[in-house]
Chain A
Amino acid sequence: MAKTTGILDKSLSRGKTEINLSTFAVLFSEMVLYAQNRSETVTDIHDRIAQYGKQVGYRMFDIITLREKGYKRETKLLGMLMFIKSTVWKNLFGKEADKLERLNDDHCTYLLIEKDPLVNTYISVPKDKGVLNCAAFAAGIIEAILESASFKCKVTAHWHNETAYVIQFEESVIARENALLDSNR
């Protein structure tokens, strides 16, 4: 057999190619259906969808930092969150996320808010699974990206009129961040 060219021998595409939204919508719905068939509880479905999201996140983080930042990685917590809110979201969904907030009473928790996430556009949640939010997929992406950038955290998707990704950082991450800020002062 002739030596085939591997994917690493090709140069990375510029990532400007696009695909019909309908195609993604039906693929995503099949994926949710599959997750649903393989799980027993709503939490299971959530976890599975988030797991799919993480797979995407790890890979997307590499590709976006390389392309947009020349492989320079954000080290500041806020910078990283802004990077996700704007650059990552633009690359993935073609628009920025709507708001970024920090919980007043909890210095470890941040909220990334999006009015109507693309992944939820075509999913109708059955009544008996009311708490299911397929934005868990996007939550998985965020978690994987923050994790690869060594900001350990847990991200969950919640629903209050708009979708909120609740990013709960580990105490150590916040401590490191504060130490970093102090030393720069």
Chain B
Amino acid sequence: MSSKTKQNLADSKKMSAELFCLTYGAMVTEMLKDYEDPKDVTIQLDKMGFNMGSRLADDFLAKNANVPRCVDTRQIADVLCRNAIPCYLGVNATVTNWSNGDRDFSIILESNPLTELVQVPPHLISAGLSYSQLIAGAIRGALEAVHFKVFASAVPESSNSNTEIRIRFDQVLKDSIPAGEDD
């Protein structure tokens, strides 16, 4: 727990979650007008998430020097749920549904700051809009920044359940360990 309080001290700048939620909503709304197919919006959101994730990874590493290098997926999942997600989304998350020899897992968000004031119309969901894909993209981007290639997608949500992000570990990217460095 001591690491958590330290983290809060280092990073106490906070802002209204509602403004965040509505800003995101406004952006998605406008994107739905710009693209004909909601599926394209999902793809675009995934890309945006990816960019955000790789920047947040830098931010995270700069502020959390005490987080050790991860060696397996269980550790990755642990850092995501214990440090990264509470820090950047302000919610608690848990890992479940391990399968495929620890390569696949799900992260369940206790609540979702993106959907706090939002109800996604059912016809858009069935047309392929994945509203929370941004978070999945961000996880993918953040992990790729530390050389883990994963596939992540937001499991289509029904309004009364928590948001689930399904993650599949693909590979450790080749240049993950710079030459001459071993620890």
Main secondary structure of the interface of A (DSSP, over half): helix
Kindly state the separation between the CA atoms of A54 and B23 in the bound complex, as whole angstroms.
Answer: 10
8 Å CB contacts to B: which residues of A44-101? 48, 51-56, 59-60, 63, 91-94
B56 lies within 8 A of A15 (CB): no
- CB contact between A7 and one of B26, B56, B119 (< 8 Å): that residue: B119
A48 lies within 8 A of B30 (CB): yes
Nearest first, the 9 closest Cβ-Cβ pairs linking A and B are A55-B26, A18-B14, A7-B119, A21-B13, A17-B17, A26-B52, A19-B17, A56-B22, A52-B26
Binding site for B on A (CB under 8 A): 4-8, 13, 15, 17-24, 26-28, 30-31, 33-34, 38, 48, 51-56, 59-60, 63, 91-94, 118, 137
Kindly state the separation between the CA atoms of A48 and B31 in the bound complex, as whole angstroms.
Answer: 11
Choose the segment among B70-78, B87-95, B162-170 that binds chain A (4+ C-beta atoms closer than 8 Å).
B87-95
Main secondary structure of the interface of B (DSSP, over half): helix
A60 lies within 8 A of B160 (CB): no
A20 lies within 8 A of B87 (CB): yes
Residues of A within 8 A of B22 (CB): 55-56, 59-60
Binding site for A on B (CB under 8 A): 11, 13-20, 22-27, 29-31, 34, 44, 48, 51-52, 55-56, 59, 87-90, 113, 116-119, 134, 158-160
Kindly state the separation between the CA atoms of A117 and B59 in the bound complex, as whole angstroms.
Answer: 22
B160 lies within 8 A of A18 (CB): no
B160 lies within 8 A of A24 (CB): no
CB distance from B29 to the nearest CB of A (A): 6
Residues of A within 8 A of B59 (CB): 22
Kindly state the separation between the CA atoms of A55 and B29 in the bound complex, as whole angstroms.
Answer: 9
